[in-house]
Structure 1
């Protein structure tokens, strides 16, 4: 009996040691965009010099993670364009290869804090007031997209010391500044129910003419609006293509805050890379409107590949390595910063979606910490300084223990007794303390429930002002930058 316990203990220690590894980041890369004309296909992101970081490297914990890599990117992009333009499914099923890679350990608070800093620094260059100096490893920046100050798609690239991992951080929304208009245009197009058509309609000028009477929205019209190559998602596709060419053998992670996080998730889902977002609006509806082909979960019959002909009954696709970190004090990722009295609407934003792809890591700051719901807590600084690096709380789900099966409770009993030296009585009090909440799929989540989407006859101009409802959106009043970085 004692020999069995020793062998079991040894086995468990080995499994835990193999599961968690660390990656050191000691260099930043510079990417700059090279565009000789206004055509998107001529836009290139070119690597500049590699710059070493200081002696204080950043260590991120990793864990094995399942990803779904498109077998042919050309086939995937063609299928998406065919679906968007003509509503046609591909003749041949799309295929993805199922692979095991090292992804970010989203159960480790330090790793999340480092990725949050990386997301925050996508807003700035070193030396500026909003650059985070907490960790010396981020004191140098080698960015992409900063050559044209009006270009809203920008951020930073970080590389591990052994070139095995590359992290792309994407900037979110800035309310005031040269990128604010493009940021707002992408926000309203991706996260509103129907091109920012809200009530009262004078509050925000709609981006398209897809609205019909009685809360109807034309799907074909919306899809045609999203074809525009100047949208941030389309620019991100070009960046990802160039990044993959530069690092064909590296694991690529994506991260970002707010709009940047949603773009990171959409691009991660497109290319099969892990993504960790912070306070991002729900992007599940945007993925559907962009006609992103998403892989179904693997089956026992075919564990190494999946096909679009397989079914995936869960709309969140929880098997995807997309993780959304947000807290309950922020109304934006929950889709509740809406209505005539909301600061979002008065700032010119229609952020109505709440459903996310993959899984969400939700910090109940209202229930556990007593925070109030306040859109000002949306800023990345709050996530870093007040939540991930300051609050030391047990985020375990104590209510879920009794609902587990016999095998889970037996494993829990052995794990606590053999590895952590706690008493072995199976009580809730002896659950392992969690640094962060458990990642969960958003069940029974529905966006835009009062809207009806379909193929409607869209009127030419329905706002009684004799204009053509173009996308030239007037600047909103200055809301004193209540949520940007």
Structure 2
């Protein structure tokens, strides 16, 4: 509510211009699919989640202006906005962005322990609004909530890696012998305190304040995955940088998605993931009890993404070794997206965005209805590391 009141005050000083002008950011026509009404969407999701019943939805195509993800400058600017979600203007880790996007409003910073933070960037004529969501901070006031959301969204089953993780698990859905209860997982993901639920309320506020504007979502790491989930929920363009796989979380959240094949033709959410192959996190490769992620208390096990992915081959093109320290947004901006003279694919300054329909997460786990046998909840222990993720 505080965020909404703050924006209402600020919006009163900004007069919308009906002519779309996005400064140096390039746009392209984008078709998104949205349910006939959000009420129908949430009703269908509720029935799926609580009654295990499906409800047909009428999906309506909308033609909007989305970001041109084949333009390197546009991607770099969106990455800079994603990096700025970690900071406030004037801080040393604030990235300069094009002058036409210098109007921004922070959210979540009024509460020192509020993990769901970021900025709302506005085009000079108020025609496009970009919601930038903060990712994980390893050491700081939001670290505990960040880790809780990471482990709940991106682990196969309650962040259970082995017996030594009994004090770090985030839910009570593990049964035994690599079995995990689906209903338990879904209920754990819909708590109002989780970042996804907070994000739904924030996007609704932005729709109220900017009913005619194009709304885009961006973020890095956890923030990018949340942008993808919210973009899928509302039928909005989203660009995620170096994010863990969120496809499994979307299933557990029971997000209704138009059928891949039907009267509307082939469908993919307007979600674009951008990452490089020297970062193990978006590839679901920072796993196992000996990994840096596990030693830090993170179970980032998923690798399947919604939408399409743009993958930069930094291993072969730049000679990078696979290293979790390459996850930082600064390297993505300055050494990948803004790199000069690199032809990432033949004749292309940005690799082609591709879908991976055959991707499978958590293949050794069995998911189903396994009532009873719940473990006791021991909370989520914290182990500090010296890796900076932003």
Question: What are the equivalent positions in structure 2 for 1:44-443 lying under 5 Å apart?
Answer: 46-49=7-10, 58-90=23-55, 93-133=56-96, 135=98, 141-202=104-165, 205-297=168-260, 302-303=263-264, 319-396=268-345, 398=346, 433-443=347-357
Q: What are structure 2's unaligned runs of at least 5 residues?
A: 15-21
- CA distance 1:484–1:47, change in 2 (3 Å): farther
Paired positions, count: 382
Kept in 1, the 8 Å contact 2:154–2:245? The answer is yes
Q: Deviations over 1:239-290 (max 9, x none)?
A: 0111111111111110000000000000000000000010000000000000
**2-structure distance, mates of 1:162, 1:138:** 10
Task: After the TM superposition, list the runs of 4 or more consecutive aligned residues in structure 1 that deviate by more than 4 angstroms.
Answer: 134-141
Alpha-carbon displacement from aligned partner over 1:383-418 (angstroms, at most 9, x marks no partner): 00111112431122x5xxxxxxxxxxxxxxxxxxxx
8 A contact 2:106–2:120 mirrored in 1: yes
Q: Which residue of 2 aligns with 1:473?
A: 380
Residue 223 of structure 1 deviates from its aligned partner by 1.1
3-state secondary structure, aligned to 1:291: coil
SS of match in other structure, 1:456: coil
Compute the TM-score of the two structures, normalised by the length of structure 1. 0.75
Deviation string 1:66-108 (CA, Å, 9 cap, x unpaired) is 1112211011112112211221222xx2112102111100000
Task: Confirm or deny: 8 A CA contact 2:101 2:122 kept in the other structure.
Answer: no
Equivalent residue for 1:449? Answer: 363
Q: Distance in 2 between matches of 1:386 and 1:392?
A: 11
**Shift of residue 201 of structure 1?**
3.0
Secondary structure of the 1:103 match is: strand
Distance 1:283 1:483 in 2: 22
Structure of higher CA gyration radius: 1
8 Å Cα contact 2:77/2:97 also seen in 1: no
Measure how far apart 1:58 and its partner are: 4.6
1:176–1:137 distance in 2 versus 1, CA, 3 Å: farther
- 1:140 CA displacement: 6.1
Name the SS for the 1:142 alignment partner: strand
Q: d(CA) in 1 for partners of 2:253 and 2:385?
A: 30
Q: CA deviation at 1:47?
A: 3.2
Determine the C-alpha separation between the residues in 1 that align with 2:299 and 2:126. 40
Instruction: Give the alignment's TM-score, normalised by structure 2.
Output: 0.92
RMSD: 2.1
In structure 2, distance between residues paired with 1:58 and 1:200: 53
Where do 5+ consecutive residues of structure 1 fail to align?
Answer: 1-30, 35-43, 307-311, 399-432, 462-467
Q: Which residue of 2 aligns with 1:414?
A: none
Q: Which moved more, 1:274-283 or 1:195-204?
A: 195-204
Counterpart-to-counterpart distance in 2, 1:71 and 1:128 = 43
